[in-house]
Amino acid sequence: MSLEMKKIESKRLGDCYYKVEHPSGLTILMAPMKGFSTAYAMFGTAYGSIDTCIKTAENGEFRKLPEGIAHYLEHKLFESEECSAFGRYAKTGANANAFTAFDRTAYLFACSDKFEESIEILLDFVTHPYFTPETVAKEQGIIGQEIRMYDDSADWRVLFNLLGALYHKNPVKIDIAGTVESIAEITSDLLYDCYNTFYNLHNMVLTVAGNFDMDSVLKAADKVLKPAEEFYLERAVCDEPDEVVQNYVEQHLPVSVPMFNIGFKGKTGTEAENFRGSILDEIFVGALCDDYTKVYRELYDEGIINATFGSEVFCGRDYISIFLSGESREPEKVYNRLKEEFEHLLEHGIPKDVFACAQRSVYGHYMRSSERVTGVATTLFNCHFPGVDMYELLEIAANATPESVIERVKSTYCAENSALSVIKP
């Protein structure tokens, strides 16, 4: 089958990738990389744990879905009437996995041999669901155990306690796996319903990077994929206040040193605005508290934080926040000090030398991602759903200024709209 292939290039990197709109409705993004021995592929959908209230063409009114059903569906897709996907991958030697996030689900594999067989397996098992009442009931016990395990995980609880402190209504505060009670509502018919809604090829993307032949990808797509119906889905948008629920939340679990997560809640824009803006947010976070800043050195030298301290910009379809985390015997002091520095930077600006370090760090991160097979495939995947070109990320970082970063943060964040989550022994 002859397909139009669009070449997308980066003058800065001297690299390129190729985009194909397959007749089935699937978007395929391919980045052959010379000199690598492995290939990495991701096949996924814009469907995650926050998709709990939807309206489709068949159902004219919004309806609620059980919390955790996206994660449940991910688990079940690996099964079939004959042989599981993992069993099929065992024959090709590919290393396969999957994950469910807040706003997307992905199935992936890495291999250094038998790529053609592995890519066909990926496309085949994800597009051929097999659910029965018996297998669904069996999985409820397995995922119920997983949920209870996470309830006892300090890393997990400190995060979701923070999300509960930041967000009033946004379903991002709900555990990705749901609750024991919510997954009890899941049936095989409901799984098929959600599958047919969200696993429409128009709502999906396939990304491949590394050592592979593009023709083999297109041949597998032609062989396995059938044209999908037109996709229509409306997701309920919650009226989330700018303010947080509470500024402090605490839980006791068996940890040796108190753990903390600090969150600065941002005003959300469109998915693309969130995604592009998050690059400037990353630069700001670096200038706020990376290991070359005065604040970090003071807190570290005083023994208030240790090497576990880190940061990230938590960004998705309907949410964006800045997260800072670590261990400390005085987490309230860390929180107050970082809030003070946050406000100081917004009022007085970022010093040029600090900005230069922060900008180089973020630019270097995306540059390194472009040199790894997994980094390229993952970045292509993450950029597709917001509608952002992968090469834009480097350009945003390269063209950032102290003024543009401060303007962005001032319009999105407020130090008072923040919270501290602590796990104590």
Q: Do 391 and 266 have their domain in common?
A: yes
Report d(CA 273, CA 281) in Å as an integer.
Answer: 12
Confirm whether 394 is domain-assigned: yes
Q: Do 231 and 318 have their domain in common?
A: no
Confirm whether 240 is domain-assigned: no
Q: Which of 209, 235, 261 is the last residue of a domain?
A: 235
Instruction: Please tell me the predicted confidence (pLDDT) of residue 60.
Output: 79
Q: Do 256 and 211 have their domain in common?
A: no
Q: Do 31 and 172 have their domain in common?
A: yes
Q: Do 48 and 131 have their domain in common?
A: yes
Q: Longest Cα pair distance anywhere in the chain, in angstroms?
A: 66
Q: Do 195 and 332 have their domain in common?
A: no
Q: Name the residue range of residue 64's domain.
A: 5-235
Instruction: Please tell me the predicted confidence (pLDDT) of residue 178.
Output: 95
Report d(CA 371, CA 132) in Å as an integer.
Answer: 43
Confirm whether 336 is domain-assigned: yes
Give the number of domains in the chain: 2
* Nearby residues of 353 by Cβ (< 8 Å), 6 or more positions away: none
Q: Which amino acid is at 118?
A: S
Interaxial angle between packed helices 352-369 and 373-384, expressed in degrees from 0 to 180 and rounded to the nearest 10: 100
Confirm whether 299 is domain-assigned: yes
- Kindly report the CATH number assigned to the domain that includes residue 129: 3.30.830.10
Confirm whether 241 is domain-assigned: no
Decide: residue 74, CB within 10 A, 0-12 exposed, 13-18 middle, 19+ buried.
Answer: buried
Report d(CA 298, CA 328) in Å as an integer.
Answer: 14
Instruction: Please tell me the predicted confidence (pLDDT) of residue 376.
Output: 98
pLDDT in tens, the chain (425 residues): 468 899 999 999 999 999 999 999 999 999 999 999 999 999 999 999 999 999 998 877 999 999 999 999 999 999 988 889 999 999 999 999 999 999 999 999 999 999 999 999 999 999 999 999 998 988 888 899 999 998 999 999 999 999 999 999 999 999 999 999 999 999 999 999 999 999 999 999 999 999 999 999 999 999 999 999 999 999 998 899 999 999 999 999 999 999 999 999 999 999 999 999 999 999 999 999 999 999 999 999 999 999 999 999 999 999 999 999 999 999 999 999 999 999 999 999 999 999 999 999 999 999 999 999 999 999 999 999 999 999 999 999 999 999 999 999 999 999 999 999 999 99
Q: Which amino acid is at 384?
A: H
Q: Do 153 and 200 have their domain in common?
A: yes
Confirm whether 302 is domain-assigned: yes
Confirm whether 252 is domain-assigned: yes
Q: Determine contact, residues 230/394, Cβ cutoff 8 Å.
A: no
Report d(CA 151, CA 157) in Å as an integer.
Answer: 7
Confirm whether 331 is domain-assigned: yes
Q: Do 72 and 208 have their domain in common?
A: yes
Q: Do 387 and 411 have their domain in common?
A: yes
Q: Which of 235, 262, 287 is the last residue of a domain?
A: 235
Q: Where are the alpha helices (DSSP H) in 178-255?
A: 180-183, 188-198, 214-224
Q: Determine contact, residues 386/3, Cβ cutoff 8 Å.
A: no
Q: Is 43 helix (H, G, I), strand (E, B) or coil?
A: strand
Q: Is 130 helix (H, G, I), strand (E, B) or coil?
A: coil
Q: Do 168 and 255 have their domain in common?
A: no
Instruction: Please tell me the predicted confidence (pLDDT) of residue 2.
Output: 62
Q: Do 138 and 252 have their domain in common?
A: no
* Nearby residues of 9 by Cβ (< 8 Å), 6 or more positions away: 15, 16
